[in-house]
Structure 1
């Protein structure tokens, strides 16, 4: 087992290159990797209050080097595994891990794009089209069919099985910890690997993600828990849903896979769940069934039929030495606002925003869009309810941001001082209107009444900036509509707000940008008390 060690001083001016902030600390780009490491690496620096078992983390950094070459190569492509220990004065401060490769970004051609997390495949076609419409160009790639989904499931299963055979369990197996690539072949990348359990010990306290948690009372990091969560993943990937436990859509693809999922999710003895390796054979058979039939060639001489998906996989296995086919937020992870991994990070706003996402869960990877609103408004209740997209509910800071927008839009309707209190006095909102008084007078004159407020995305950018994508409807007096259509009396807005984040976990609006907004559909009732 080889353990590579370095100090923060070996990493160059890393503090100038923060890529993101998560629930456990910060992630920085480093200019050069020490100890003979090759490629691009990032430094995950733990917060001082994080309880890190240095001995376990040290063992983790040497884990891959102690495996047979074939398994090491296989896992190295599919894990954002700790690669080197970072120590300062005898204290472990964090570790180095590989940077997320471009193929695992939402738009592989854009180095500043969000990471392509598995949760994008847990949405329907309309949802993905809406994402593309608001600027996430790569979202439509995830409107994919059964073959790609089966391929991803198979890659996850092979990765987990290889980990299990070598004494490691994932624990927090959820779509936000799984990055995906569909080209040239379906491939996954597991992130937040320092939270995995190795040979019965954890480097950091185990956590779970909201609606992906094991039944109450179970250990969250065992082969049994991985079996349960893998069953959830299989079901939800074919339901294209964030919380379903219905195996029906999976049954339409493969009755055998649906039966495995049912066994995995049935309440009862955890040890009775199918091991992840039991899925591999049925997955290969399902993939074979999805392979297209050979296409006749219009020539006299016979031509060989196209090989099956299984034979192609076998050929790849020979080339890759092993018969298994992985590598390296947010925190958006769909599901629950009670996600223990994404407590308020207290990041600080700066401008302009740009940068590379990282492999740290909860880093700047969140991009979620125009989906049907959550079934309940954010809490506590506001004068204007703010509906939070399910994919945003688990993002660090989402509750505080929703609360701020609730006060802001409620204030626009009934108390402009309250609305003004949600704006950063040093930002651009007041300055662009000539000061707070003129800003308030403009709303007073317009009689604006806002409704149907929805928080679709909350993104933490590499520089530390925070932006929120919000849609809402405004009703105003004629002559006070958008600049491009001042006579509009009802407008549908899609606004990107840049937010200032404060150390106490609160947020204020720094500035806002919106394209030319459309008018409300004909016949929309103007029931605002100020619309006269």
Structure 2
């Protein structure tokens, strides 16, 4: 729901609750914040507008929401305090007031990280599986119906609201084809749209997968459709794009999980919402580090200067980014030749020397940001088969520079994204300064339409601020850390350094 500009007919009192203000308004109801002086209780009062009070179908749905919600005794379902009808025929429901925001608002504010999204869908999945055991299918799972508040212990509280579209399992088989469809098309399962099969909990699994898609990528699975008919047809006929197309950091395993949850046929999906949430969690969990491969002579590596432009970023009051957003920064890099292979004298031959030599593969180049003194960066032996070259660096001398950094080149694009996913999984995700999405795409000012890689901001396990970024054309990954400061500005300073050195 969204806050309306004005509600001229706002009542003074409903059901003993004194109306304080409007919390939001949807197509079929208005929600007020009310205070009951006798109970000493704040409540969210959902009221059926006078214009709809005479519609029997709308009244039936409104009454069903109250009855269905009241029968679900779960801490993640909004509690019902009371229900009634005003003297002029308006139905109302007094519900527990959850102070906070919605998952949809968190996405729009850039505050929905992958880790937070996993927490949201995991708790919503628990609610849905409970409701399904009680014989209730929600049928309208979407980010705006997920309330985000705070628990007494400071942890985030996640509440599933709006059971107005819910159906009782015992009656779904008797639903008439072509009946009224009240669920939101952007998140609706194909069988709910077509009405060709009986609906069960797997319809909510589909909607939860659509919700997760939105939380992680910022987009619905089928964007760009301007009419409900086009959107409905997309759910029935089209395959959703891989989640990694919009979130390049996402591993292939997550693509498979979401694809299964969005299967057109219910029998091809996960049987329960909990199974889907568990599979998504496993897909984003760090995989065990593979055993080191036998040592081999690495290719000759050169580090050469290459110009980089500053990334496009959104400006906010919290941003600590230096210089103007329109200035492209040329990065001067350190030129170092890393000669790792031994001389010909080190080779023992069992026969005569060959008359020809096999040419070595061309050396890979790795670009280091400016600010590293000679000798502070050293090449290492990759322990991951997907990494071709790796270099570890000490402190960077430029303002805001990291205390340590690791720079690597992956063997292919898949290995690059897998390594980034492991970095993300081992840190606490935070929104980047300037309200930049994390993880999210970054771009150069010279070519703002084309993402060049993925940017991630986080807090490492030891509390150090961390920034990781990829430059996809070179299969390049950098992970840099800074030292926490009492004023909390370390991440801002590190981000400003990255913005001028990326």
Instruction: Determine if the TM-score, normalized by the shorter chain, exceeds 0.5.
Output: no
Higher helix share: 1
Higher strand share: 2
